[in-house]
């Protein structure tokens, strides 16, 4: 059983450990989970991650309750039976889904997951980031999954439903060192139906267009505007920047008192920082792809070796992956032999 320390990172360390336990079939114990957070231990969202992983792996679990600071996870044989879980709050449905995606490399049959919770909530990828940024990028190295937003869930009520269908995969090594020229930017703007009269989703797109123009970015822009039924009001906007087969994503969430146009401009601020660099993917995707570099092999250039990256790599190495980091001017290259 791998002995892991979860004190120096947030939920990502737990999700990485769960993902690799599913892929390798190896057990782990994580102590001091989220120990450096103001409210340490498992939150409802993390409990849902454990529940989903345990269902797929027929695992024995000790300590998977809310508030627990230590977890033991002992996986058994994988199952492709459909899995459903409710976070019970506006906790992130996308991060619960992220936990399960790497198991594609160990599946014999497709797996269906349904998560009830927050589909578009702060501190996590919006549903449209998962659909229109990560899904097409993963497809470039042979990982295929479908994402359906069955109902939008915003903070604080949640109540959204996200469906994911994951196909068995034999991925090719990742090769993300360079970024091709920018082809176009797709904008996905969503708001609850209660905000339709104020044209909030449309105005978020206007904010994106104006901010891109102000930043001197001249590229084709395609926009999708949605007003969705939801249990509480909310908005989100996602930019998907296409550079050949490479996709980078940037997002922002609406909040009370902030004009919709400014929300669109916030997403462009993150895009502009990336656009001025030569990074192949956005910084959030770089973090998410560390597990994939381990299981698929290959090379990935990241903006910097942060403490978040270091602790995540420590968990990956604990499962026996020989993943290397070479710091370069303006960033670092992460590499692993398959």
**Which of 317, 302, 295, 334 is closest to 142 using CA atoms?**
295
Asked whether the beta carbons of 284 and 125 are under 8 A apart, the reply is yes
Q: Considering 2, 242, 284, 308, which one is annotated as catalytic? A: 308
Any alpha helices (H) in 180-237, and if so which ranges?
200-214
User: Hey, what are 99's tokens?
Assistant: 């936990």
9's torsion region: left (phi>0), alpha (psi -120 to 50) or beta? beta
**Active-site residue flag, 2:** no
User: Hey, what are 241's tokens?
Assistant: 């920047």
Distance from C-alpha of 317 to C-alpha of 309, rounded to nearest angstrom: 12
User: Hey, what are 235's tokens?
Assistant: 């908005």
Distance from C-alpha of 153 to C-alpha of 141, rounded to nearest angstrom: 30
Q: Distances from the Cα of 261 to the Cαs of 49, 102, 234, in angstroms?
A: 35, 36, 14
Please give the positions annotated as active site: 308
């Amino acid at each position: 059983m791998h002995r892991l320390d979860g004190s120096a990172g947030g939920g990502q360390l737990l999700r990485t450990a769960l993902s690799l336990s599913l892929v390798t079939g190896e057990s782990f114990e994580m102590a001091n989970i989220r120990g450096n957070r103001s409210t340490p231990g498992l939150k409802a969202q993390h409990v849902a991650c454990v529940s989903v992983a345990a269902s797929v792996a027929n695992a024995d679990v000790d300590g998977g309750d809310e508030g627990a600071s230590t977890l033991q996870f002992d996986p058994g044989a994988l199952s492709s039976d459909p899995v459903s879980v409710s976070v019970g709050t506006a906790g992130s449905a996308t991060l619960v889904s992220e936990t399960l995606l790497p198991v594609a490399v160990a599946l014999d049959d497709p797996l269906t997951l349904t998560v009830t919770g927050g589909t578009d909530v702060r501190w996590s990828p919006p549903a449209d980031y998962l659909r229109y940024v990560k899904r097409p990028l993963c497809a470039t190295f042979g990982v295929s999954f479908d994402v359906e937003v069955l109902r939008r869930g915003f903070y604080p009520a949640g109540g959204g439903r996200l469906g994911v269908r994951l196909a068995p995969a034999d991925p090719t090594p990742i090769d993300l060192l360079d970024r091709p020229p920018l082809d176009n930017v797709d904008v996905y703007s969503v708001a609850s139906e209660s905000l339709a009269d104020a044209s909030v989703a449309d105005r978020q797109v206007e904010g994106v267009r104006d901010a891109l123009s102000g930043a001197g970015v001249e590229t084709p822009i395609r926009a999708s505007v949605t007003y969705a039924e939801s249990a509480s009001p909310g908005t989100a906007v996602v930019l998907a920047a296409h550079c050949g087969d490479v996709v980078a994503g940037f997002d922002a969430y609406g909040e009370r008192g902030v004009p919709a146009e400014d929300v669109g401009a916030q997403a462009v601020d993150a895009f502009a920082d990336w656009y001025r660099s030569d990074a192949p993917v956005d910084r959030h995707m770089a973090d998410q792809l560390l597990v994939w570099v381990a299981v698929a092999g290959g090379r990935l250039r990241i903006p910097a070796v942060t403490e978040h990256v270091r602790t995540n790599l420590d968990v990956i190495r604990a499962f026996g992956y020989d993943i290397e980091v070479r710091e370069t001017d303006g960033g670092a290259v992460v590499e692993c032999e398959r």
